[in-house]
Amino acid sequence: MYCKTCGKEMDNQSKFCPSCGEPVEKDEFAEMFQSNENKRSKNYNTELILGILAVVFSVLNYIGIFYVHLIGITLGAITMSLVNRDKKDGFEFSNAGYIMGVLGFVLGLIAVIIGVMYSM
């Protein structure tokens, strides 16, 4: 990176030019993009995959493959706890993963309730 005022080469991270002291004008879009990238949770893809699997396992119960909804509930719960941790730490989490994790969790719970009702 080069200073826009005096043209001296400078550190990418510095806020002021070391040679003329001029404040660095950063490309705001580039910075926003970079901070989003940096703030994206490292669990982003895990949340998405676990969320999808939570829904899949819970839905399998409704088409006659029993007990797998317990896996759906577990995966949904793990997804929600990962997202909650990201929320607390201010990371960008996977919205789609979160929605599907909750959906899988709820569908799994409904399957448990239906199962209990049928066994009575």
Binding site residues, Zn ion, CB under 5 A: 3, 5-6, 17, 19-20, 22
Nearer to Zn ion, 16 or 62 (CB): 16
Residue 16 Cβ, how far from Zn ion at the closest point, in Å?
A: 8
* 98, 80 contact by CB (below 8 A): yes
Residue 15 Cβ, how far from Zn ion at the closest point, in Å?
A: 12
Q: List CB contacts of 51: < 8 A, sequence separation 6 or more.
A: 75, 76, 79, 94, 96, 97, 98, 99, 100, 101, 103, 104
Residue 6 Cβ, how far from Zn ion at the closest point, in Å?
A: 3
Nearer to Zn ion, 24 or 68 (CB): 24
Nearer to Zn ion, 7 or 96 (CB): 7
Nearer to Zn ion, 19 or 84 (CB): 19
Cα–Cα–Cα angle for 69, 72, 78, nearest 5°? 150
Q: How far apart (Å, rounded) are the C-alpha atoms in residues 85 and 61?
A: 29
Q: How far apart (Å, rounded) are the C-alpha atoms in residues 90 and 106?
A: 25
Residue 21 Cβ, how far from Zn ion at the closest point, in Å?
A: 7
